[in-house]
Amino acid sequence: MKRVESGEFMKDRIGVPLKNSTKEKLSEARSRFLNERGNGGFKDVKWFKATDSFGNECSLRGSWERDVADWLNQQGIMWTRKHYVKYLDDSVNRTYSPDFFIPSDNTIIEVKGHYSDKDKRKMKLVQDQHPELTVKIIMKKEFEQLQNLTYNQL
């Protein structure tokens, strides 16, 4: 796993097709790495250390995520980042770690400055395969109004 975390594994694999089982392992390792690494794995994004509602240390990527975490705390909403969702993508089992997971009502909150087609596809797959989950996307408009909203208004 150290080679996956450091990126060395992929350097050896450029141009080499991966087995689905390898893709599945990489997806899970990458989700955990992004979630648990000090800077969330993104070198060019400002990150903030935080503690979720369950006492788990986590990394928040960017000031918007930090502000949403603060808002959830102000609302008294219990949240965590230490949640992993398995989903099937073109016959490959993938692992997704949401920005925020609200266990009381099985809600995923994603904070997006840009909602790419790839992100939309992933979220549709997750929602279709996990109808028990509610997915809420916070874009700039919602973020700008956040302090005036209650959780139920998202």
pLDDT tens across 45-68, in order?
788 889 999 999 888 888 999 999
The percent of residues above 90 in pLDDT, for the chain, comes to 57
Q: Over the Cα atoms of the chain, what is R_g?
A: 16
**Which residues have C-beta within 8 Å of that of residue 26, sequence separation ≥ 6?**
4, 9, 18
CA 66/CA 64 separation, integer angstroms: 5
- 127-144 residue pLDDT tens: 999 999 999 999 999 999
Name the pTM for this structure: 0.77
**The pLDDT value given to residue 26:** 74
Task: Give φ, ψ of 151 to 5 degrees.
Answer: -55, -40
* Lookup result for tokens 């230490």: 82
Name which CATH class applies to 2-153: alpha beta
Q: Where is pLDDT greater, at 29 or 122?
A: 122
Dihedral of CA 107/110/111/117: which sign?
negative
**The pLDDT value given to residue 89:** 94
Tell whether the model's pLDDT for residue 117 goes beyond 90: yes
- 74-83 residue pLDDT tens: 999 999 998 9
- 92-109 residue pLDDT tens: 899 999 999 999 999 999
For 131, half-sphere exposure in the C-beta direction (CA atoms, 13 angstrom radius) is: 0
